[in-house]
Amino acid sequence: MKTFDTIHNTKEFLAEAKKSGRKIGFVPTMGALHEGHLTLMRRAKKENDLLVVSVFVNPIQFNNPEDLKKYPRDLEKDKKLLESVGCDILFAPTAEEMYPEEEVTEHFDFGKLETVMEGAFRPGHFNGVAVVVKRLFNIITPDKAYFGEKDFQQLAIIKRLVEMEKMPLEIIPCSIVREPDGLAMSSRNERLKPKERAVASLVYQILQEAVQLKDKKSPVEIARWVADRFNNNPSFTLEYFQVADETFLQPLEQWKRNTGALGFVAVFLGDVRLIDNIRFY
């Protein structure tokens, strides 16, 4: 595995690879790698000639400075995991390398897509995501880039970014990878205390129970039911639950024929924020 920390050297190496017709599969990460990331990487390795992974904790997508400070980092451990899946190139830049300018002024308008759920509760988050992903795509020039569906709204934003910027690559969505008890795999899970981890699987359990109610209740009634379930459990603080259409992620009041619908949740368990989603239709 080759490791680069500068944009120049990374671009130079990958330009040569592309000249010889090699296809690049790219998995961008913020490190603290887990089986969810590795599943994406194995798929990217299988479907391309070169697997490129970035490890970069992107400061401009954190609207909470405390969250940025606490985000888990362990590059040496990450490198071992990358080698175990046959990663070819690791790009691990510093913030100064990615953002040489004093202030990042790029701004993207994703319309309604960024005003709901994560966009509503984490102002500026998706602009920070879009800025870094665009820069990474320009550096790596992948043929395919792989993203997990746990961050479903982020995935929708990135698909829109690629359309808006007319970038010549394919975005590959990958299913949520779960722990044996159903908890969606996330780097933030590392921060859960043992007592919190013991009840964390309730998030997915409540989502599964909500899906069973879809024939009897409207999306609005299901949202109330989910809120009650979380509000009656002192371990959790619900930030939002919303049933939305799968394309524009706008709230649904009634089920619509031929419209995919998912339920999205964000909850705090102690001081750790967990997100998850589940398909209704």
Residue 183, φ and ψ in degrees, nearest 5: -60, 130
Q: Can you give the residue range of the structural domain that contains 228? A: 187-276
Q: Are residues 197 and 145 in the same domain?
A: no
Instruction: Please state, in angstroms and as integers, the Cα–Cα distance from residue 233 to each residue in 23, 57, 160, 185, following that order.
Output: 49, 32, 37, 22
pLDDT tens column, 38-67? 999 999 999 999 999 999 999 989 888 888
Q: Are residues 43 and 160 in the same domain?
A: yes
Taking the complete model, does pTM exceed 0.85, yes or no? yes
* Distance of alpha carbon 105 from alpha carbon 260, whole angstroms: 35
Q: How far apart are CA 201 and CA 178, in angstroms?
A: 10
Give the CATH number of the domain where residue 164 resides: 3.40.50.620
Task: Judge whether 37 counts as a catalytic residue.
Answer: yes
Beta carbons within 10 angstroms of residue 172's beta carbon: 17
**Residues 194 and 247 occupy one common structural domain:** yes
| Same domain, residue pair 48 and 103 | yes
Whether residues 153 and 194 share a domain: the answer is no
Domain of residue 192, CATH code:
3.30.1300.10
pLDDT in tens, 164-223: 999 999 999 999 999 999 999 999 999 999 999 999 999 999 999 999 999 999 999 999
Number of H helices, E strands in the chain: 11, 9
As for how many domains the chain has, the answer is 2
User: Strands 50-55, 24-29: parallel, antiparallel or unpaired by DSSP?
Assistant: parallel
Q: What integer best gives the mean pLDDT of the chain?
A: 96
Label residue 102 by pLDDT band (50, 70, 90). confident
The length of the chain is: 281
CB distance 203 to 267 below 8 Å: yes
Which among 8, 34, 37, 107 is annotated as catalytic?
37
